[in-house]
Amino acid sequence: MEIFLSIPFLIFMPLAVSLLLISPLFTRNEIVIRRFSKSVFLFHFFYSILLLAFYDSANPYVSEIHFFGLDWIQSMGIKFIFKIDSISMIMTVLTSFVFLLAAFASKYNIRKNHKFYYSMLMLLMSAILGIFTAADMFVFFLFWELELIPAYFLIGVEWKEPVSCYDNRQDAKNSAVKFVLFTFLGSMIMLLGILLLYYYNFVSSGTLSAGFSDITDSLIPDGMQNLIAICLLIGFGVKLPIIPLHTWLPDAHTNAPTPVSMVLAGILLKTGAYGIFRFNYQTLPESFMKIAPVLAVFALINIIYTAFVAYAQTDIKRIVAYSSISNMGLVLLGLCAINQIGISASFFHMTAHALVTCGLFMIAGIVYLRLKNRDINTLSGIAAYMPRLFGFAALIVLASIGIPAFAPFISEILTIVGAMNSDFSDVLKLVSVFALPVLILSSCYMLKFLHNGFFGEGEYEKIYDISIHEFIVLASVLAGLVIFGLFPDALLNLIQAG
């Protein structure tokens, strides 16, 4: 069976399908495009599960692509090489799953430009998979920049006819431009860090290589290590995002269609945390240990500040957007603990948060499709008209605030325990003490969303409850939250194996 398992196929199959969809040779029939695309996403998910089933942590998947028998840029030691270890395996399966959910969610949210939409969705998945599997710094950066192209169009292009004040195309275009400018500026600073790391590694070790496994940080001067680490953190901090580099995210979520918001929150934000883990934590551990206490304070600011801002919002999508920034603060805090518990908590919470945000954005999208409104101050009584949606909303909201038996409960507890058990800095212990009671703030804004939107007495014309496609998405999300909440070792053992 292993002969059929291929990293290049995993990464570039969506890219090939993207080119096929956008070509004039492919049909313009919307139904065919939608069904074909869902089939591809479904096949890709099962292929990633197959990779997971045959994965051996003692023998990670490694693949190198040669060009006419040569490395990519052989004279500079740059190789087109990919590696899937335990962490990459988790992120790969999660990516494939979230994009599959987004494809199902697209049926009612995407009404025009189907060829272009699904093509960009495929291209974005290919770019993100490249980020999670790259074993060379410049290959990593290549895919990091590639995802800007589809993300820009997915946020800024009009995918359906405007039906309310929330469908302002100019706002969407502005949000897309803001996303690109923030990310591109961060990427340039990150590229400076990569170039400095590449150069000083060559000067100190004599090895001309950009592979992660060939970087020897112990020979690089301490001051230069710190400068490189800060440059990298700025680039990753934009995508995570870390306050004050976060302002692009609420606008992008608010103006993007529901499936794109699911991908942005569920996967795209995780590329920033993954970059910090792969570059700062693994490649530059000494400098990361010095910066981690300061970074932990920023993580606490993320958790507290955006929780208060989320509570002040009235637009459902903006509430979920700010809650994502707050949750990514927990992910960052887990990384800063620099111990096995913290790392396990960080990647466990990435998975839990991806599921929660997919569910919450799906709920927001369903409410908007039915009522053409996302303002919780004017919404009420939805539960009486859409009892099945209310059932899913109640359970997913409870999961999001960390109720036992759901995955976020496990990751939140592990994050606090990891920070409290940090051996190198008392700042981490202090931050964990403040972070624990602050988690109650998530209960405030999420329960406010549930109470204002679903309870009370609202009067609406006849509206339909969730469809089969919407049921599949919400049920899949809920199943994942319950499975990882009741059987966390299924995921924790894989994380710890890396």
pLDDT at 442 over 60: yes
373 confidence band (pLDDT: 50, 70, 90): confident
Range with lowest mean pLDDT among 381-390, 393-402, 422-431: 422-431
164 confidence band (pLDDT: 50, 70, 90): low
Range with lowest mean pLDDT among 104-113, 158-167, 250-259, 404-413: 158-167
Hey, what amino acid is at 127? A
**What was the pLDDT predicted at 103?**
95
Hey, what amino acid is at 40? V
Neighbouring residues of 458: CB distance < 8 A, sequence distance ≥ 6: 379, 380, 381, 382, 384, 385
**What was the pLDDT predicted at 204?**
82
**What was the pLDDT predicted at 203?**
86
**What was the pLDDT predicted at 1?**
46
**What was the pLDDT predicted at 3?**
53
Q: What is the pLDDT of residues 257-300, one digit of tens each?
A: 999 999 999 999 999 999 999 999 999 999 999 999 999 999 99
189 confidence band (pLDDT: 50, 70, 90): very high
443 confidence band (pLDDT: 50, 70, 90): confident
Angle, CA of 442, 106 and 451, to the nearest 5°: 30
- DSSP letter at 339 equals S
**What was the pLDDT predicted at 168?**
65
Widest CA span of the chain, in angstroms?
73
Q: What is the pLDDT of residues 398-415, one digit of tens each?
A: 999 989 999 999 999 999
- Is residue 280 a contact partner of residue 287, using CB atoms and an 8 Å limit? yes
Hey, what amino acid is at 187? S
Half-sphere exposure (Cβ direction) of 77: Cα atoms closer than 13 Å: 15
pLDDT at 209 over 50: yes
Q: State both tokens at 469.
A: 């496609």
- DSSP letter at 419 equals H
**What was the pLDDT predicted at 198?**
92
pLDDT at 440 over 70: yes
Q: What is the pLDDT of residues 231-248, one digit of tens each?
A: 999 999 999 999 888 889
Of residues 466, 246, 451, 473, the one with CA closest to residue 354: 473
378 confidence band (pLDDT: 50, 70, 90): confident
**What was the pLDDT predicted at 38?**
95
Q: What is the pLDDT of residues 309-320, one digit of tens each?
A: 999 998 999 999
pLDDT at 104 over 50: yes
The partner residues of 73 in beta bridges, in order of sequence, read: 78
Give the pLDDT mean for 82-103: 96
d(CA 280, CA 228): 9
**What secondary structure does DSSP assign to 148-168, as a single string?**
HHHHHHHHHS--S---STT--
**More confident site: 356 or 211:** 356
**What was the pLDDT predicted at 163?**
61
**What was the pLDDT predicted at 161?**
63
Calculate the CA dihedral of residues 451, 310, 338, 56 and round it to 10 degrees: 60
pLDDT at 29 over 50: yes
Mean pLDDT (the chain) is 90
Backbone angles phi, psi at 211, to 5 degrees: -70, 140
**More confident site: 313 or 3:** 313
Q: What is the pLDDT of residues 313-351, one digit of tens each?
A: 989 999 999 999 999 999 999 999 999 999 999 999 999
Q: Is 396 exposed, middle or buried (0-12, 13-18, 19+ CB in 10 A)?
A: buried
Give the pLDDT mean for 463-474: 92
**What was the pLDDT predicted at 406?**
95
Looking up tokens 């700062």 gives: 280
Note the pTM of the prediction, 2 decimals: 0.95
Residue 235 φ/ψ region, left for φ over 0, alpha for ψ in the -120 to 50 degree band, beta for the rest? alpha
pLDDT at 66 over 90: no
Give all strands (DSSP E) within 31-139, no chain letters.
61-65, 80-84
d(CA 107, CA 96): 18
46 confidence band (pLDDT: 50, 70, 90): very high
d(CA 268, CA 353): 12
Looking up tokens 């396990």 gives: 344
